[in-house]
């Protein structure tokens, strides 16, 4: 057995163990930390498969940004685990059916349609004329040439989802600063500001001439 094969089995074993602990641990903070370890092991497996771009993206995006955000949110919310477990056994049959369906689909893909021995035509076209094939270069060219429109659609959907999440979070809260767009469009200038004339609060004082000013003499 080669070193690469041994590392693959080692990373895979740690990945499966940490993924199992994500769903079995009682502490939400520990679950997030185990998920970080799972992402690291998946990144190492991508590195063994010579997919450096995907490996670094997994570490930078998920571990460096998403999971850190999850960790802060879980620690700040102080989730009551006992309250969340009240309806566990009530929803367990549906969760078991969905989990079994996912396992069957993944098994069908891995056992039947995931065996690709030939290099895809798109990657071969990118590598033509160069001695080496860079997966980062191939991925970039595919994204911004053949898949530019799906990429733009995906970014628009993510933007709409982010705006919708912020709007739903700010809705129906006492301390919310949400703005009704329809009311903001219908607003008129005279409804925004009113000029009120106030009477003077103190009587005007008489202005007395000052005698300290120097006299100016005219020269003949």
Domain containing 1 — which CATH number? 1.20.120.1200
> Can you list the residues of the chain whose pLDDT is less than 70?
78-85, 112-134, 169-179, 203-220
Sign of CA dihedral 134, 136, 139, 141: negative
Cβ atoms of residues 38 and 21 within 8 Å: no
pLDDT of residue 19: 92
- Residues 62 and 133 reside in one and the same domain: no
Quick one: 113 and 168 in the same domain?
yes
Residues 57, 104: one domain? no
Same domain, 1 and 74: yes
- Determine the Cα–Cα distance for residues 64 and 23; give it in Å rounded to an integer: 21
Asked if the structure places residue 43 within a domain, the reply is yes
pLDDT at position 142 is 82
Specify if 114 maps to a domain.
yes
- Model-level pTM? 0.53
- List all residues 6 or more positions away from 134 whose beta carbon is below 8 Å from its beta carbon: none
Question: What's the confidence (pLDDT) of residue 220?
Answer: 44
72 and 105 part of one domain: no
> Same domain, yes or no, for 6 and 72?
yes
Same-domain status, 129 and 163: yes
User: Which residue range is the domain that position 117 belongs to?
Assistant: 100-172
């Amino acid at each position: 057995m080669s070193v690469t094969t041994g590392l693959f089995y080692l990373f895979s074993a740690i990945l499966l163990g940490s993924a199992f602990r994500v769903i079995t641990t009682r502490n939400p903070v520990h679950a997030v930390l185990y998920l970080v370890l799972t992402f690291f092991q998946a990144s190492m497996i991508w590195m063994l498969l010579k997919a450096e771009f995907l490996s670094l993206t997994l570490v930078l995006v998920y571990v460096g940004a998403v999971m850190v955000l999850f960790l802060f949110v879980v620690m700040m919310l102080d989730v009551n685990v006992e309250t969340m477990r009240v309806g566990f056994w009530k929803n367990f049959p549906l969760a078991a059916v969905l989990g079994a369906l996912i396992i069957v689909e993944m098994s069908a893909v891995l056992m039947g349609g995931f065996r690709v021995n030939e290099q895809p035509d798109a990657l071969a076209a990118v590598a033509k004329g160069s001695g080496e094939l860079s997966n980062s270069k191939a991925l970039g060219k595919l994204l911004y040439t053949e898949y530019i429109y799906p990429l733009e659609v995906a970014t628009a959907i993510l933007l709409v989802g982010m705006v919708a999440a912020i709007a739903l979070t700010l809705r129906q809260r006492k301390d919310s600063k949400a703005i009704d767009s329809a009311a903001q469009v219908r607003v008129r200038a005279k409804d925004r500001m009113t000029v009120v004339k106030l009477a003077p609060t103190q009587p005007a004082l008489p202005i007395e001439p000052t005698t300290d000013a120097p006299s100016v003499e005219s020269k003949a």
